[in-house]
C-alpha cells in the first residue's frame, strides 16, 4: 500500500509539473499584455507616446524572455551555422563565402535548444566577369 501511494503521488507530481511548467513564464508575460491593452484604450495617442509605450512593452518582453532563459540568435557577420541559422538566399559579397551578411529574422534559443533558427542571407563568392579580349585581338 505504501509503494502504491508513493507511485500515485509521484504520478500526480509529474502531471502537475507538466501542467504548470509554464506558470512562471506566463506570469511574466501578463505585464506585456497589460501594456498592450492599455495602449489600445488611449483616446488620442501621439507618435511619441506610442513609441514610448512600445519601448516599455519591449523591455517587459525582454525581461520575461531573460527570466525564462530565452536568448536571441542574431548572427550578422558570423559564419553560417545550419544548427542555428536557416539560409533564405545567397548574395555575392566581398565577405568570405558562408558569412551571414543579412539577418531577416532573429532566431531564439531556450537554454541550449533552438526554438526558431535565424533567417539569414549568406555570402557567396563574386562571379568574375569574363575576361575581355585584348584590343585588336580577334573575337572568339
pLDDT of amino acid 133: 65
pLDDT of amino acid 15: 86
pTM of the model: 0.73
Low-confidence stretches of the chain (pLDDT beneath 70): 129-140
Share of the chain above pLDDT 70, in %: 91
pLDDT of amino acid 57: 95
CB-neighbour burial class of residue 18 (10 A; exposed 0-12, middle 13-18, buried 19+)? exposed
- Which grid coordinates are listed for 39? 495602449
- Which grid coordinates are listed for 127? 562571379
Amino acid at each position: 500500500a505504501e509503494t502504491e501511494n508513493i507511485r500515485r503521488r509521484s504520478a500526480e507530481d509529474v502531471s502537475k509539473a507538466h501542467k504548470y511548467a509554464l506558470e512562471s513564464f506566463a506570469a511574466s508575460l501578463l505585464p506585456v499584455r497589460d501594456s498592450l491593452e492599455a495602449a489600445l484604450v488611449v483616446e488620442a495617442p501621439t507618435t511619441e507616446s506610442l513609441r514610448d509605450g512600445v519601448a516599455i512593452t519591449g523591455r517587459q518582453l525582454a525581461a520575461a524572455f531573460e527570466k525564462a532563459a530565452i536568448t536571441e540568435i542574431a548572427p550578422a557577420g558570423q559564419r553560417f551555422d545550419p544548427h542555428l541559422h536557416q539560409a533564405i538566399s545567397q548574395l555575392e559579397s566581398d565577405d568570405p563565402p558562408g558569412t551571414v551578411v543579412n539577418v531577416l529574422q532573429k532566431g531564439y534559443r531556450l537554454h541550449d535548444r533552438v526554438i526558431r533558427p535565424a533567417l539569414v542571407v549568406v555570402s557567396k563568392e563574386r562571379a568574375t566577369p569574363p575576361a575581355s579580349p585584348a584590343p585588336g585581338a580577334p573575337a572568339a
